Amino acid sequence: MMKTRQAIKLCSFYELPEMIGQVFSVGGEEIVIFRLTDGTVRAIENKSPHPKGGILSEGLVSGHFVYCPLYDWKISLIDGNVQAPDEGRVKTYNIEVSDDIVNLIFDE
């Protein structure tokens, strides 16, 4: 069976401010998009894996990491892993920037 690829247009690359999360609702999921200073765009779920939660779009970004605004957990924007000594993981999403358009990519 061949996989199909679906691209959902989110916004223009230039509409994304650097280092500030932008929230999009896609298919009932709240996704936060970050434009990093090196020009890459990363997408993760907008909820901290901490048992009490936390809204990651309100977190501080440093390099390829976001810090949970409530518990200061350091979370990778590349693979979604929480950095030691804390543990956990957030869902990551594939992003593609084409002709200055930011697309969320799903392989079905």
Range of the domain at 88: 5-107
- Residue 97 pairs with which residues in a beta bridge? 102
Tell me the pTM.
Answer: 0.91
CATH of the domain at 21: 2.102.10.10
The total domain count for the chain is 1
Each residue's pLDDT tens digit, 51-99: 888 899 999 999 999 999 999 999 999 999 999 999 999 999 999 999 9
**Cβ(10)–Cβ(100) below 8 Å:** no
Choose among 97, 103, 107: nearest CA to 10: 103
Q: What is the mean pLDDT of the chain?
A: 93
For the chain, give the percent of residues with pLDDT over 70. Answer: 97
Residue 10 is classified by DSSP as E
The answer on pLDDT for 3 being more than 80 is no
